Amino acid sequence: MRDYDVAIVGASIAGCTAATFLGRQGASVALIESHSDPAAFKRMCTHFIQASSAPTIARLGIEHALDQAHGRRTDTNIWTRYGWVSFGRESAGPPMSEWRPWNVRREKLDPILRDLAASTDGVELLLGHTVNAIVRDGERLAGVRTRERNGDEHEIRAKLVVAADGRDSEMAKLANVPTKLKQHNRFGYMGYYRDTPLVTGDSAQMWLLDPDVAYAFPTDSDLICLAVFPHKDKLASFKPDPEQAMARVFESLPDGPRLDPDKRESKVIGKLEMPNTVRQTTQPGLALVGDAALAADPLWGVGCGWAFQSAEWLAEAVGPSLSGGPEDVDAGLERYRKRHRKGLGAHEKFTSEYSRGRRFNPGEKLIFRAAARDQEVARRMGLMGERWVSPQSALSPATMARAVRVNLSRKRPPIGLRRAASVAG
Ligand SMILES: Cc1cc2nc3c(=O)[nH]c(=O)nc-3n(C[C@H](O)[C@H](O)[C@H](O)COP(=O)(O)OP(=O)(O)OC[C@H]3O[C@@H](n4cnc5c(N)ncnc54)[C@H](O)[C@@H]3O)c2cc1C
């Protein structure tokens, strides 16, 4: 097979995004995907895409396609025992007032992204090719070997290889990329339901039950994605009949929808093991993007967003270097490594730590209680929760001091849940 500037392994969110942005910069890209069906999609994902990646989605130019697919531009309401927190997006100022989270099923999103990449000049989508070996020139990664279903094998050489092959990255194993696995003490079940209105209308609801979690996400085609992420100590009570166990959780939720099995539009599917995975993001000639680089999900709904963002950061950092030699490409990789760490490092630590399944710590209790009573604390929490700013800058001493004042004031009752007009009262 011919040589390329870039060989990307995995044509899902991260791979298609990287291929599109690199192709637009004039690079020749082999986009390699083991599925042979262009409409293949990831099933186990609740696809709440944080607003901080909406600008990347806009730059990809797929907003219209997502609207055509009836994707929802949604919003966030979080319940804790201290009351409901809404971020007050309209009055929050930029960037929160400008961008909303998306929610669209992966069966719609993944083919849209694959079509976009495949129709980008310079990008060649190679479906039905599974990467099973890497090619090195000395220390440097110089390509991959693929195998088709019919047994045909190919060597694809490139100046840069990108691992976009997900949480269990085969590329990372083949290239011996240092990997840290962090405990994730929750399991998840999800399903899609029709005719299941939320009191918040198009706006998502999340219950942080400390330590269990439940979600109701309005998504495309008037469906609601209902999901639970309980602590693993409850697994035995879920396994015999996961949907019945989910229904019991939803029955107990304040302002929650009822889960009616007769309204289910999909199978109920589950994932019992999902350790958070943190990898070194670069090696000479190799970059990791999306879940292959970092999977610290799903509790805060960031994996899809980070796949979009990390792929765009990579294209920005290395795209201009691809016309140069290996040292130019590696200088671009170093820029990407730093950008990735700056953007996601602190969020990963925070998310992974909470994924252990522990109860709220005193700082979180303070913030959740204050955010339920004070719109400004809620706004700052939203900036961090949507990953616009780092946890350190959102939870600054000034924010903590304000939270203490709010919590000590007797005149600050909970703000309460903002109900959709059609269901108000
Ligand atoms: C239960 C659950 C719920 C989630 N909910 C959310 C949510 O609400 N919001 C959110 O933002 N994120 C969520 N996520 C995370 C999200 O699904 C991932 O972060 C996202 O899919 C990562 O995209 P990616 O492109 O990096 O990898 P993936 O989507 O995993 O894609 C990897 C691609 O690589 C291909 N591939 C793999 N190996 C090879 C190979 N050897 N050769 C060729 N191709 C290969 C695969 O076929 C696949 O197409 C959830 C995850 C789980 C487990």
| Euclidean distance between CA atoms 216 and 206, whole angstroms | 6
What is the token pair recorded at 259? Answer: 């889960």
Q: Output the six-digit token pair for 378.
A: 């809620």
The whole-number average pLDDT for the span 94-105 is: 97
pLDDT band at 410 (very low <50, low <70, confident <90, very high): confident
Residue 215 pLDDT class (50, 70, 90 cuts): very high
User: What's the full length of the chain, in residues?
Assistant: 425
- Report the largest interatomic distance among the alpha carbons of the chain, rounded to a whole angstrom: 73
- pLDDT tens for each residue of 125-138: 999 999 999 999 99
CA of residue 309 to ligand 1 center, whole Å: 14
**8 Å CB contact between 128 and 36:** yes
Residue with tokens 């924010």: 399
Q: How far does the centroid of ligand 1 lie from the alpha carbon of residue 166, in Å?
A: 5
Mean pLDDT of 179-197: 97
CB 200 within 8 A of CB 422: no
d(CA 385, CA 95) in angstroms, rounded, equals 13
Q: What is the pLDDT of residue 352?
A: 92
Ligand 1 centroid–CA 45 distance in Å is 8
Residue 425's pLDDT band, with cuts at 50, 70 and 90, is very low
CA–CA dist 152, 132 (Å, integer): 12
* Dist. CA 14 → ligand 1 center (Å): 8
Query: Range with the lowest mean pLDDT among 133-142, 186-195, 350-359?
Result: 350-359
Please give the span between the terminal C-alpha atoms of the chain, in angstroms, as a whole number: 65
Q: What strands, in cross-sheet order, belong to the sheet with 188-193? A: 83-86, 76-80, 204-208, 213-219, 223-229, 188-193, 269-271
Q: At what angle do helices 375-385 and 362-371 cross, to 10 degrees?
A: 120
Q: Residues 395-418: what's their mean pLDDT?
A: 93
pLDDT digits (tens, 9 = 90+) for 325-341: 999 999 999 999 999 99
The predicted model gives 185-200 an average pLDDT of 97
Q: What is the mean pLDDT of residues 113-132?
A: 98
* pLDDT, mean of residues 260-276: 97
pLDDT at 421: 76
Give the separation between CA 265 and CA 300, rounded to whole angstroms.
25
Closest atom of ligand 1 to 17 CA is 25
Q: Which residues contact 69 (CB under 8 A, 6 or more apart)?
A: 104, 108, 109, 112, 220
At 400 the pLDDT is: 96
pLDDT of residue 241: 97
Asked if residue 239 has pLDDT above 70, the reply is yes
Q: What is the DSSP string of 379-396?
A: HHHHHHHTTSS-HHHHT-
Separation of alpha carbons 327 and 284, rounded Å: 9
Please tell me if the CB atom of residue 12 comes closer than 6 angstroms to any atom of ligand 1: yes
**How far apart are the C-alpha atoms of 283 and 263, rounded to whole Å?**
49
Residue in this structure with the two tokens 């108000």, named with its chain if needed: 424
Contact (CB, 8 A) for 164 and 113:
no
What value does the mean pLDDT take over residues 231-245?
97
424 pLDDT more than 50:
no
Q: How far is the CA of 114 from the centre of ligand 1 (A)?
A: 14
| Model confidence at 63: pLDDT above 50 | yes
Is the CB of 110 within 6 Å of ligand 1?
no
Q: What pLDDT score does 232 carry?
A: 97
- Amino acid in position 382: G
Q: What is the mean pLDDT of the chain?
A: 96
pLDDT at 139: 93
User: 386 CB under 6 A from ligand 1?
Assistant: no
β-sheet with 276-279: strand ranges across: 179-182, 276-279, 294-295
Region 254-275: what's the mean pLDDT?
97
pLDDT (average), residues 375-385: 95
**Whether residue 422 has pLDDT greater than 70:** no
Mean pLDDT of 152-173: 98
Q: Please, which pLDDT band fits residue 36 given cuts at 50, 70 and 90?
A: very high
Q: What is the mean pLDDT of residues 24-37?
A: 98
Q: Other C-beta atoms within 10 Å of 295: how many? A: 28
**Using one digit for the tens of pLDDT, what is the confidence trace for 278-321?**
999 999 999 999 999 999 987 778 999 999 999 999 999 999 99
Q: Is 23 in the pocket of ligand 1 (CB under 6 A)?
A: no
**CA 129 to ligand 1: nearest atom:** 43
Q: CB-side exposure of 414: number of CA atoms within 13 Å?
A: 16
Report residue 236 CA to chain centroid gap: 28
Please choose from 20, 45, 213 the residue to mutate so as to test ligand 1's pocket, defined by most ligand atoms within 8 A of CB: 45
DSSP SS3 for 276? strand
Alpha carbon nearest to ligand 1 atom 21, residue: 304
Most informative mutation of 171, 297, 309 for ligand 1 (most atoms within 8 A of CB) = 297
Q: Is the CB of 48 inside a 6 Å radius of any atom of ligand 1?
A: yes
User: Which residue in 237, 275, 230, 232 sits closest to 253, CA to CA?
Assistant: 230
57 contact partners, CB below 8 Å, separation of at least 6 = 49, 63, 66, 102, 308
Q: What is the pTM of this model?
A: 0.97
